[in-house]
Amino acid sequence: MKDLQDNRLVELLADQSFFGLSAEEGMELGQLKKRFPEWENDFSLELTAAAIGLANLDVREDLPANLRAQVYANADEFFSEGATDQEVFNFAPSANKTIVSPPGASVAETTSGFSFWQNLGWAFAAVAGIALAVNIWTTRFEKPSEVVKNPETIQMPKPELTTAQKRDELLASAKDAVQISLTNPKNEKEIVGDMVWSNEKQRGYARFRGLPANDAAKETYQVWIVDETQDSKTPISGGVFDVDGSGEIIVPINAQLAVKKPKAVAITKEKVGGVVVSKQENVVAIAKV
């Protein structure tokens, strides 16, 4: 009868540690603990459950030989056939408690039953401890999650520069950029604007102040660049533009041919669409480079 109750006690303790107990089973366990007080403060099965819960045996690397040998040596010493019950009890939290024999049971009977089941709980704990040691060793070498150090950045398109900003940029960036004044051909002291030109970049801008508006249906303004390397009667066209107000205006200069040695610039009024060769009959502004 005593063995059956002892077996039932261990079964309930195991269920409590691993699965939990119902209300009825909890009451039964309490009654059995009163009959077997030596189990009251025994935590071997709880430690076993905790160790198994922590163990995640995803083995990725062999346990080092020296650690493996140490684990096996400790296991052999703990479970050696020559070890006495008292030596095994020294590993349990309740080793120093006095074992009280239940009424009608001999001392040898009580000690033997307690030793077997107590050892069983600690055997579970020892196996789980070995598994936990292996798990800790193997998981410490797991490759950490990859962290993106340089996330891809989205390049936002730059806003389009105004004509005035492009003129300023050319003047600041081109090493050979020159800035010259545009004057009235009838009165060279009357400045009507200025021109920025870079021979290296073959680009330039003409800025005018107070240039009269033209009737775009009848006429247009045209830019001419006089180059020393060719006939002055056939200057290079720099494009056409219209003026619709009396304020400041900036127009780009786009030479139709490569300019080698600019000598002068002239602004004329021509027919709609401009001309290939100007007669230079209606010059409104000039500049000497």
* Cα–Cα distance list, 44 to 10, 22, 49, 50, 139 (Å): 11, 21, 9, 10, 25
Residue 264 lies in a domain: yes
Q: 221 and 254: one domain?
A: yes
pLDDT per residue as tens digits for the range 136-186: 555 555 555 666 666 677 777 888 899 999 999 999 999 999 999 999 998
Domain-embedded: residue 146: no
Is 31 inside any structural domain?
A: yes
Structural domain including 60 reads 2-139
Whether 113 has a pLDDT exceeding 70, the answer reads: no
- Do 104 and 181 belong together in one domain? no
Residues 99 and 170 in one domain: no
CATH number for the domain including 229? 2.60.40
Do 135 and 257 lie in a common domain? no
Last residue of a domain, one of 139, 154, 187: 139
Q: What is the C-alpha to C-alpha distance for residues 111 and 84, in angstroms, rounded to an integer? A: 12
Distance of alpha carbon 285 from alpha carbon 234, whole angstroms? 17
Residues 6 or more apart from 99 whose CB is under 8 A from it? 38, 110, 111, 114
Per residue in 125-141, pLDDT (tens digit) is 565 566 555 565 555 55
Instruction: Give the integer Cα–Cα distance in Å for 137 and 83.
Output: 30
pTM of the model: 0.47
pLDDT in the model for residue 30: 75
Residue 154, domain member (yes or no) = no
Q: Report whether pLDDT(191) > 60.
A: yes
Instruction: Assess whether 228 and 268 both reside in one domain.
Output: yes
Close Cβ partners of 27 (under 8 Å, ≥ 6 residues apart): none
228 occurs within a structural domain: yes
Is it the case that residue 66 has pLDDT exceeding 80? no
Q: Is the pLDDT of residue 115 over 80?
A: no
Predicted pLDDT of residue 157: 81
Tell me how many domains the chain contains.
2
Q: How would residue 89 be classed by pLDDT, with cut points 50, 70 and 90?
A: very low
Confidence band, pLDDT 50/70/90 cuts, at residue 283: very high
> According to the model, what pLDDT value does residue 21 have?
73
| Domain co-membership, 93 together with 195 | no
Instruction: Output the six-digit token pair for 10.
Output: 């261990």
Tell which wins on pLDDT, 241 or 156: 241
pLDDT at site 5:
58
Mean per-residue pLDDT, 108-114: 44
Same domain for 98 and 22: yes
Residue 238 lies in a domain: yes
* 95 and 8 housed in the same domain: yes
